[in-house]
Amino acid sequence: MNDFFDARVRTGDMTETLAWLHAEYGQVDVLAERASIAERASGDETFALRHLEWDCRAEVVYDCDRFFFATSAAGLRWRVGTSEGDFSVDPGIVQPGQQFVGRPDVTDVHLIAFDADWFAEAARTIYGDDELDVRFDGIAPVSRRLRDYWVQTVRWSFTQLPLLSEPLVRAHVRRALVAATLEAFPLVGDPRERRASALEQAAIYADATSWIDDHASLPVTVDDAARAVGTSARGLRRAFAANGHLAVSPEEYLGLARVSAAHADLVGADPTVTTVAAVAARWGFIDIGAFVAAYREEYGVHPRTTLAR
């Protein structure tokens, strides 16, 4: 994705404060004699990390259009419907369609915001359930242990801000946050069924990567891999989307496995009797240009350089 943003503001001017909040959060009302804020917001169209510093008392009323997960220092009371709390005691959720009323009073807030449609699709992918109702039954984490796990994951994610413009780093951070959030907060439905589904997805992924590694030298396809591990091609792609770290699809993983194997051959080959084209063909690359491009992407040099060493 090329829609990365990294926006910052620091102002004690009420007009600037209101303009920023309205631009970033939509319909927001600040009821205070003065309002001084600072914020850094980084992310893309799917998610964002947001750190707000409130050096004032205020009341914020926000009609939520995405999933927000928040934790704060002392000084942020909130109300969502009939529920009330303090984000410094427990992190909490605000879901699309809910109205959030917050009363910051000289505090720091860390927010994780997810686009509603993207987050729902990510949850369905992780649990392998296209019909999953992605709503949360409650606001606080399900246990103290999982609360601490989520907070530590959030703290780690903010240490990655200097690298977040890199798409692979951003994908890794986003994946870690989604996994921690879905574990820590109470989704509607039976968590035992979801956990079993997630474990099945992970098992399919592990079996498929092992099978692909063993058969990468053969003219196999994703359909072959899916049949070998007892699922459909669609099911296999979903397992990779949920679990893949090196590759998010079986096609990508098969390509990487073949490039890796070709690399090993190039390292051990005699350049007087072996050519790059021969190694590429051995690992299924008919188009030598495509092989060179894939090899450069993975190893940073032309395969001819590796062969000549």
Provide the percentage of residues in the chain whose pLDDT is more than 90: 35
Q: Can you give the pLDDT at residue 256?
A: 87
pLDDT exceeds 70 at position 193:
no
CA distance 57 to 295: 56
**What average pLDDT score do residues 186-202 get?**
74
**What average pLDDT score do residues 148-155 get?**
93
pLDDT exceeds 70 at position 148:
yes
CA distance 3 to 167: 10
pLDDT band (50, 70, 90) for residue 235: confident
Q: Give the range with max mean pLDDT: 69-78, 213-222, 235-244, 275-284.
A: 69-78
Q: Specify the DSSP element, H or E, that contains 273.
A: none
Weakest-pLDDT range from 158-162, 189-193, 222-226: 189-193
Spatial contact of 126 and 242, defined as CB atoms under 8 Å apart: yes
pLDDT exceeds 90 at position 232:
no
pLDDT exceeds 60 at position 1:
no
**What average pLDDT score do residues 115-134 get?**
88
CA distance 196 to 181: 17
Residues with Cβ < 8 Å from 196, sequence gap 6 or more? none
Ordered domains of the chain (ranges, CATH): 5-184 (2.60.120.10), 190-309 (1.10.10.60)
Neighbours of 175 (CB within 10 A): 17
Output the DSSP codes for 17-52.
HHHHHHHHHSSEEE-SS---EEEEEEE-SSEEEEEE
pLDDT exceeds 90 at position 189:
no
**What average pLDDT score do residues 122-145 get?**
87
What average pLDDT does the structure give for the chain? 87
Q: What residues does 101 pair with on adjacent strands?
A: 61, 79
pLDDT exceeds 90 at position 112:
yes
Q: Can you give the pLDDT at residue 118?
A: 95
Closest to 25 (Cα-Cα) out of 54, 3, 50, 56:
50
Residue 212 CA, distance from chain mean position:
25
Spatial contact of 81 and 88, defined as CB atoms under 8 Å apart: no
Q: Can you give the pLDDT at residue 173?
A: 93
Specify burial of residue 50 (Cβ count, 10 A radius: 0-12, 13-18, 19+): buried
- Rounded CA Rg of the chain: 24
CB < 8 Å & 24+ apart, contacts of 238-244: 238/125, 238/128, 238/201, 239/128, 239/201, 239/202, 239/204, 239/205, 239/208, 240/205, 240/208, 241/125, 242/125, 242/126, 242/127, 242/128, 242/198, 242/201, 242/202, 242/205, 243/201, 243/202, 243/205, 244/205
pLDDT exceeds 60 at position 243:
yes
Written as six digits, the tokens of 200 are 């099945």
pLDDT exceeds 70 at position 195:
no
